[in-house]
Each structure stands twice: as C-alpha cells, then as structure tokens.
Amino acid sequence: MTPTHFKDAAIQYLENLELENGRNIPGKTRQLHQELIPYFGEMPLADISRFDVERFKRNLTSTGRTEATTNRYLAVLSQLFHKAVEWGWLNKLPCKVVKYRENNIRTAYLEPAEIDRLLIAARQDTCSIIEPFMRIALGTAMRRTEILTIQIENIDCARQEIYIPKAKCGARTQPMTASLARYLEHYLNEQALGKQGYLFPSEISRTGRRASIEVPFRRVVKAAGLDPTVICRHTLRHTAITHLVQAGVDLPTVQRFSGHRSIQMVFRYSHQSKDHLHRALDQMEARLRAHKPELS
C-alpha cells in the first residue's frame, strides 16, 4: 500500500533501503526517529512545503544543532522525497530541500594538549565506551558509524588493522597506530568481550550494538574545558587527518588512511596551525642560512 503520511513513508523508506542495500541505514534510522518523524510525522507527504522545511531547519538550529548537523537531516529528507517519486508514491517532489551553505575551509581540530585533556576526561567519565571510542577515532580517523559497528572478529591488533565491511566508500582495511593496537588488546582482555559480536554491544538496542554516543561525547568535551558547539564527533576524524598532513605525510597516503574517495576530498584537511607554519618557516630559514651564512 502506498504510504500517504510522512511517518508511514519514513518506515517504508527504511525497509526499501534495506532491500536495496542502501548506505548508512543505521544513521538514517536514527535521524528519522530523533527529529524527522517527530516533526513531520502526521503531515501528508505530498503536502510538505518549503515553508515546513525551513521551519524545521530553524527548529533544529535553535536547539543548538550546527548548520552542518542540520544538513545531515536535510539530506535524509531530500533522499526520502526523491525515493518517493522513484518508487511511485508521488508524481513530483513535494518541495525542494535547500541546505545551509557550509564553510569547509576552516574546520576545528585539536592540538596535542587538547587531545590529552579530552582523553583524561574520557577516562574519568561514567560511560565505559567513550574513551575507547575517542581513542579509535583519533588513532584511525574512522567515522562515527564505522566505529560503532566494529565487530571484534575484524580487529587485528597484531597487524594493527581493523576491517570495515561497510564503509562509506566501500569495504576497506583500516590501519591503526601502534599505541591504539596496544590499547585495544588490553581493552578486549579487560572487558572479556571474547572474539565474537560488536566491540560496543548494547542489550537494549535493536541492532545489538550502541547506536549513539552524543550525550557522553558532549559531556566529556565540556569536562575537558572545550566548546561542545565547536568540537563534535567528526572533529576527532578531522584531527587525525590534519596531524598526518602536518607531519608531512603525502596526500595519497593520507587518502589511504582516511578512506576518502578522492585526493580532492583530502585537500580540505591540509590547513596548517600557526605553530606548524612557524616551525616550517624556521626550517626553511635554517636551510637557507646553511647555504648562505651571511644571512644569519
């Protein structure tokens, strides 16, 4: 039966995506149930207007959601509209979903001292998985969903690798740092998790694994003296990639580590901190002085 109201369409949309092997279904499920269904639920799908979407956007940003986060919800809404037309539920799109323009030139990342403060706060937090979550993000640059869906059997501490069967750009084997491999080996033994199941299991989740980390993440960020409106989960991924670039690692290698589809996607991570630029300039000056002592 063709769904007419948004709530019914959303449920059918998720079921159809499962059949089509769609991407990031857990994330879309969370976004639909957290915000989209509560807001649009009883509205007739065909009658949702541009005004309704704009009001939804303002509602999200007024509760502290960033424009980038709001855009993730809008992307799901837009895809649902397009799939409704593709599957014959609607003759045309109800309206155009216009996202916020994101500034990708400057994105927050953590300096080494801030990383230390964050991990200390994570270790002291009541949530037992927040520290390993943050360490994995910083030691692999993996995305949130990739981390929360890690299966224990796919962790190889000896090889310093984590296999990701359903990554954003396809299955890949993710390298990790030696220190993270040692940490995970100790964590697995300490938690007695065995060799099967999820690294972050949940008895109350339908999927059998932890689906969200938002609340303890924000709590730890605050405890570390950082701004939770600036430091988000993606900041950890951005931090890992940025420090690779600042360490002088070539971009093709960074791409292999980050799992990006193209080199162009990596360029936006190649901004430099002021301290890093000054160190680079000092190295250049020292090199010039070595060849021309009169410059000193």
Answer whether residue 289 shows pLDDT above 80: no
**Would you state the pLDDT for residue 238?**
87
**Would you state the pLDDT for residue 83?**
94
pTM of the model: 0.58
The CATH topology of domain 6-86 is DNA polymerase; domain 1 (1.10.150)
Answer whether residue 240 shows pLDDT above 80: yes
Answer whether residue 202 shows pLDDT above 80: yes
**Would you state the pLDDT for residue 291?**
65
Spans of all domains in the chain: 6-86, 112-274
The predicted-structure confidence for 216-228, as pLDDT tens digits, reads as follows 999 999 999 998 8
**Would you state the pLDDT for residue 257?**
78
**What is the percent of the chain with per-residue pLDDT over 90, rounded to a whole number?**
48
**Would you state the pLDDT for residue 233?**
86
Domain 112-274 in this protein, CATH class: mainly alpha
Task: Look at the block and give the residue holding tokens 């791409």.
Answer: 255
Higher pLDDT, 261 or 222: 222
* Residue 253 pLDDT level (bands cut at 50, 70, 90): confident
**Would you state the pLDDT for residue 295?**
47
